[in-house]
């Protein structure tokens, strides 16, 4: 009987850890759908963005999206305790759909999303035919950072995500992940993220970001050219099941099936999520 209880306790602990690591709606920190033609945060946390330049409202992969010109269009985001100025953050998921006009551009990093600065932060960007996700915490416990990448094509929809999973105050294996179209591309060493106060941006580097080949500083640089849709930030670590709905949307959008099938597929997924 004692052995049975011990096994049951272990199973319950594993189940608890699994639930904790997966998507938790209570941990949503910001959602920018762009469906109303603005950069309002629909999560209820009022991380509302303001436009730089004149992004164009277009049909996205899910409702409306924003088309950025790659020159001076972007979204500037305010500080938020749950997003960047609080912490330390042990779990984080940042994800979005994107379609880059020209992925081969080499003279700019084409930032999709960035928060933080040269000491700590997160970034998602396109550069020379690849999509990168990055994270670093160069104080406290000296995480130099990780920037996994994957090949991408111009004018094609993708869903990209970075995941920080159960980070501690030390660099440990398999704590930082890259996901593309619902598939885990890489798992890298990483750790928890402490507060990072530099300005946050969508479609450009608002203020400082560290890239795979650049410890760069600067404001209003590295503009993205293309469409961005449904940017989300959660303080929980999504898993394969959580990413499956995004992968289904990509599959429907890039398949040869009729457009009404895509609309039906996303409508069903969205209804299921709201139940």
On the question of pLDDT at 116 being above 70, the answer is yes
- Count CA atoms closer than 13 A to 111's CA, side-chain side: 33
On the question of pLDDT at 7 being above 60, the answer is no
- Average pLDDT over the chain reads 89
Secondary structure class of 160 (helix, strand, coil)? strand
Distance (Å, whole) CA 214 – CA 219: 14
The values of phi and psi at residue 81, to 5°, are -60, -40
Distance (Å, whole) CA 220 – CA 36: 25
Q: Which of 21-30, 176-185, 255-264 has the highest mean pLDDT?
A: 176-185
Tokens 């990483």 identify what position? 190
State what percent of residues in the chain have pLDDT above 70: 85
Q: What's the rounded mean pLDDT across residues 215-242?
A: 96
Distances (CA, A) of 142 to 146, 163, 199: 12, 19, 22
Q: What's the rounded mean pLDDT across residues 237-248?
A: 97
- In the structure, what pLDDT confidence band is assigned to residue 273 with cuts at 50, 70 and 90? very low
The answer to whether 40 and 27 have CB atoms below 8 angstroms apart is: no
Q: How far apart are the first and last CA of the chain?
A: 40
Q: What's the rounded mean pLDDT across residues 126-149?
A: 98
Comparison of pLDDT for 230 and 197, the residue scoring more: 230
pLDDT at 254: 86
On the question of pLDDT at 78 being above 60, the answer is yes
Q: Select 23-274's CATH number: 2.40.50.140, 2.60.120.200, 3.90.550.10, 2.170.190.11.
A: 2.60.120.200
pLDDT at 19: 41
On the question of pLDDT at 10 being above 50, the answer is no
Chain segment 14-57, per-residue pLDDT in tens = 444 434 458 999 999 999 999 999 999 999 999 999 999 999 99
Write the DSSP string, 181-208: TTEEEEEEEE--B----SPEEESSEEE-
Give me the residue spans of the domains in the chain. 23-274
On the question of pLDDT at 264 being above 60, the answer is no
Q: DSSP label at 250?
A: H
On the question of pLDDT at 259 being above 70, the answer is no
Q: What's the rounded mean pLDDT across residues 65-82?
A: 98
Comparison of pLDDT for 127 and 15, the residue scoring more: 127
């Amino acid at each position: 009987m004692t052995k049975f209880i011990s096994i049951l306790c272990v199973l319950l602990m594993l189940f608890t850890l699994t639930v904790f690591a997966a998507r938790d709606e209570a941990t949503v920190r910001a959602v920018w759908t762009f469906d109303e033609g603005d950069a309002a945060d629909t999560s209820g946390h009022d991380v509302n963005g303001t436009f730089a330049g004149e992004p164009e409202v277009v049909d996205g992969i899910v409702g409306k999206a924003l088309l950025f010109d790659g020159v001076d269009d972007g979204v500037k985001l305010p500080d938020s305790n749950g997003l960047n100025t609080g912490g330390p953050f042990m779990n984080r998921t940042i994800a979005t759909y994107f379609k880059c006009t020209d992925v081969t551009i080499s003279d700019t990093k084409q930032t999709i999303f960035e928060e933080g600065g040269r000491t700590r932060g997160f970034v998602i960007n396109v550069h020379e035919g690849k999509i990168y996700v990055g994270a670093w915490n160069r104080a406290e416990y000296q995480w130099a950072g990780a920037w996994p990448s994957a090949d991408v094509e111009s004018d094609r929809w993708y869903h990209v995500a970075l995941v920080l999973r159960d980070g501690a105050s030390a660099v440990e294996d398999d704590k930082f992940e890259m996901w593309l179209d619902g598939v885990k591309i890489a798992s890298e060493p990483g750790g928890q993220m402490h507060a990072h106060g530099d300005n946050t941006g969508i479609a450009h580097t608002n203020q400082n970001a560290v890239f795979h080949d650049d410890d760069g500083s600067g404001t209003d640089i590295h503009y993205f050219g293309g469409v961005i849709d449904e940017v989300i930030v959660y303080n929980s670590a999504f898993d394969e099941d959580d990413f499956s709905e995004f992968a289904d949307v990509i599959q429907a959008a890039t398949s040869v099936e009729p457009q009404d099938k895509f609309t039906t597929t996303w409508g069903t997924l969205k209804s299921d999520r709201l139940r």
